Chains A and B, each alone.
Chain A
Amino acid sequence: MTVPEAVRVCLTPAIDHGLPVVTVLVPAVPTLRRGVTVWVGASTWLAMALAAGPSAAGSWTVAVGLPSLGVVAAAEVGVDLRRLALVEVEVGQWATAVAAAIDSVDVVVAGVPAGLQATVARRLSARARERRSVLIVVERPGAASAGPAWPERADLRLQVERWWWTGLGAGDGHLLRRRATVTVNGREAGGRRRQVDLSMPPGPATVVGERAPSFQPLRRQMWSA
């Protein structure tokens, strides 16, 4: 049985109460525990990849405050579009919307607005912990970074230090394969700071996420590499 390499869901033992994580990210994040707050710096793709594991296994995802989200990229990395909702907010309602989303779904990806207060951040983290939802906060792409946008120390902090792309030459080729050097930090990462190389192989044109084993048979897709 062939399964897309990039989105083979890695299931961890249930005693962890952890959500599954896609294979690509396993070197950096072995498991995603329910109730954590994850800070992702400078990469929307990384946030989507984090959300892809639970999404492919049946969880709902809400993206708040990310108007420039690339939906096709999310689908390619494994997010199930049937269980993804996109919410646009004005600045004043961001916190209310994120809180409402935490109450309803398992994974919330939120683009942090500028000037977020520490109390608000703390309250949202506490709410996520209480409701056992994962809150992934992303630095908004294009935002002028004047210091860390998330004032609290998140449980897990991921920062892309550098991207490496192969496939482009001097006027020929096209982007094929990405590699990222990611710094992992935080309580959830064992308290140590380490750097990991994540390598994402070129995916096929259509990538279908695999459902977690349940009563339905796993879907097989034929594609041309």
Chain B
Amino acid sequence: MVGVNTRSLVVWCADWPVTATGHDGDEVPVATVHANRVQACSAAARAGGVRRGLRRREAESRCPGLVVMGADPARDARAFEPVVAVVETIAPRVEVLRPGVCVLATLGPSRYFGGDHALAARVTGLVVGLTGEPAGEPASGLARVRCSVGVADSVFAALLAARTGVGVVAPGATARFLAPLTIASLERPALVDLLDRLGITTLGRLAALERADVTARFGPEGEVAHRLASGLDERALAPRALPPDLVVTAEFDPPASRVDVVTFAAKGLADELHRRLTGIGMACDRVVIEAETEHGERLARVWRSDGPFSPQAMADRMRWQVDGWLSGSAAGRPSAGITLVRLVPDEVVPDNGCQLGFWGGSAAVDERAARGLARLQGLLGPEAVTVAAVVGGRGPREAVARVPWGDERVASPDGMAVAGRPWPGSVPSPAPATVWADPLPIEVTDEAGTPVTVTARLGLSSAPARVDGVEVLSWAGPWPLDQRWWDSAAHQRQARFQVVVASGVAHLLVLEGGRWRLEATYD
């Protein structure tokens, strides 16, 4: 390992897993738990006696109002993105050690901002400013971020400077700063335990030993510990690479009010985006197409595709979307010409190519249908074109789930097998051909004209003889349905009837809450 020493600035956000959950650490006692042990806790929880490493039960017993959340590294990383982004405005090469801690080299920025203290103050101001001015709402959705900044000759020392609150350590004074700190700051439990028992209780004492001796006794881990204690880094900073700019934009001056102008630009945009993506070996299967007008109206839509998008497919979708917008209903149409279209790749996957099947016959038909349906979605909106899957249920309406075209299917392709499983209390087949989207209220009366009711014990008051005045030829019921009794919002308690009326048409009637309605018709 080469001896590199870059003067570094570390931004350390206290209790980051707790901050990432969005709770305010000072008010609410929150702890995140991983493998049944507390991983991080908020200031309020600490005041209540919760510490890292406690068992969950123990923590809950010490602090009764504790809010316990599961550890989610993805959530922490995602929440830390805005912080890193704002630090990247100061210096382009920022390394994220872990969610909550990021590092940057201070050589350039320090000179630019006039010293380490000024730089540290600026970074602190930026990060704290992320979570909201006193008056407004948090800009990034985070709760208050408690961050502190440390500057020193090595990353390890800077992190300790941030955590202990020292702030800026003068250049060359790093070893002196580290000397009185306890050996436990190394965070290598086995080695620390051993060193402690040997009487090496501070970093200064470890640094005072000869490195060769430490390496001989403790091995490579000991060497690393000695370097850290001396104020050296074990490795150089590894800044994250800047993401390539994958957003392509085209502007129109004068504003375009016809589709063909946009179409012409769309092809060029799609080719450019495809070129940039293949340059980094990626392809995108989800893209956001945005269009803006002179008056500020925006239409943004997410397009999905089964395989990666080809440039032609992206250009087509842009054309359909703009066409649908410009020629849509008067309410949705824009009031001015289009000034800007933008393609933003939403989900980018490694480009592995596309294996077409043999016997291309049915694939060509599917392809043609898929293009047509995507075009319909462009004209009418993504929710207007749906595919239905049978998911099983007790009534003709709930047995079906509708999914917008292009979304991953909700149900398995084996849906009919699921429907074939016993659903006690379901309406027997054959199923009705018309299931009313808005069930109509009707009146069901007996011979004398009094409304027919069903008691809680399924006792029918009288035989139904007329439905909205039309004579009933034959009927069957009541078939009770009482499902989801445990969920007050989804509870359904109905009695169902099948009737055949005078014209020969059969209907499915439902009595719920004392009211009759026409649920479906067997036409």
Interface residues in A116-168 by Cβ distance below 8 A to B read 141-142, 160, 162-165, 168
Would A165 and B522 be within 8 Å (CB), given that A89-B384, A175-B430, A206-B420 are in contact?
yes
Would A72 and B390 be within 8 Å (CB), given that A101-B372, A104-B372, A163-B505 are in contact?
yes
> Which B residues are CB-close (under 8 A) to A214?
362
**B461 contacts the other chain (Cβ, under 8 Å)?**
no
Chain B interface helix/strand/loop/mixed: mixed
Whole-angstrom CA separation of A171 from B400 in the bound complex: 28
> Which B residues are CB-close (under 8 A) to A104?
368-369, 371-373, 375-376
- Looking at the complex, which one of B386, B390, B419, B437 makes contact with A85 (CB distance below 8 Å)? B386
**B387 contacts the other chain (Cβ, under 8 Å)?**
yes
Which stretch in A15-23, A58-66, A189-197 binds the other chain?
A: A58-66
- Give the number of residues in A that approach B within 8 Å (Cβ atoms): 66
Q: Could you tell me the distance in whole angstroms from the C-beta of A89 to the nearest C-beta in chain B? A: 6
Would A171 and B463 be within 8 Å (CB), given that A60-B369, A86-B387 are in contact?
yes
**A218 contacts the other chain (Cβ, under 8 Å)?**
no
- Give the number of residues in B that approach A within 8 Å (Cβ atoms): 60
Which among B373, B402, B417, B460 has the highest number of chain A CB atoms within 10 Å? B373
Chain A interface helix/strand/loop/mixed: mixed
Q: Could you tell me the distance in whole angstroms from the C-beta of A37 to the nearest C-beta in chain B? A: 19
> Is the Cβ of B431 less than 8 Å from the Cβ of A70?
yes
> Is the Cβ of B476 less than 8 Å from the Cβ of A173?
yes
Whole-angstrom CA separation of A110 from B368 in the bound complex: 19
- Looking at the complex, which one of B379, B436, B500 makes contact with A68 (CB distance below 8 Å)? B436
> Is the Cβ of B506 less than 8 Å from the Cβ of A72?
no
Whole-angstrom CA separation of A200 from B498 in the bound complex: 18
> Which B residues are CB-close (under 8 A) to A68?
434-437
List, sorted by A's number, 23 A–B pairs whose CB atoms are closer than 8 Å: A67-B437, A69-B434, A70-B433, A70-B434, A70-B435, A71-B388, A76-B430, A81-B415, A89-B384, A96-B379, A97-B380, A104-B371, A104-B373, A104-B375, A105-B368, A142-B436, A163-B503, A165-B474, A168-B476, A168-B499, A168-B500, A171-B463, A175-B430
Shortest Cβ-Cβ A-B pairs, 8 listed? A104-B372, A206-B420, A45-B433, A72-B431, A163-B504, A168-B474, A60-B369, A73-B431
Using a CB–CB cutoff of 8 Å, the interface residues on chain B facing chain A are 328-329, 359, 362, 365-366, 368-369, 371-373, 375-376, 379-380, 384-390, 396, 399-400, 402, 405, 413, 415-417, 419-420, 428-437, 460, 463, 474-477, 498-500, 503-506, 520-523
